[in-house]
Homo-oligomer: A and B are copies of this chain.
């Protein structure tokens, strides 16, 4: 029965392609998203060459994006005994994926924003014109809110899956 295998391959290819397209919208490199999709649905760890072949991309491209995924913590290198080449496997647990992405995005997106806002709030503290006060107040509010969001992200990313579900269920109920 090879029809089953064909159906699976087809579904998987579609998932990879679509996830890549989504990645683009998310501001993520398309190849990176595709590799992630590929590895998330791989039964076994894959080598760089297997990834290259599956996605029809160059070695350089595959390599760069595999490294990037490893840097994000979404993929880990696996060494197979007696084998020289590197294999890679993706984290498959959705909660784990989510917290990893949340932590990384917080670090890359929220923290720099917070720094900017704190600086601008500070710089405008002593301006006593009405416009100056309004500006300062706006910066302060933004800083407060983003700081708040930052702490929330930490809390949520630090939760165990079960606890998060419990909390969220209460929230949705």
Contact = CB atoms under 8 A, between A and B. Distances in A.
Interface of A: 4-5, 7-8, 10-12, 14-15, 18-19, 22, 25-27, 40-41, 43, 92, 94-95, 98, 108-109, 112-113, 116, 119-120, 123-124, 126-129, 131-132, 134-135, 138-139, 141-142, 144-145, 148-149, 151-152, 155, 167-168, 171-172
The quantity of this chain's copies bound in the complex is 2
Query: What's the dominant secondary structure at chain A's contact region?
Result: helix
B22 A112 contact: yes
Contacts of A141: 94
B11 A116 contact: no
8 contacts: A8-B124, A11-B120, A14-B119, A14-B123, A15-B116, A22-B109, A40-B138, A94-B145
Contacts of A144: 94
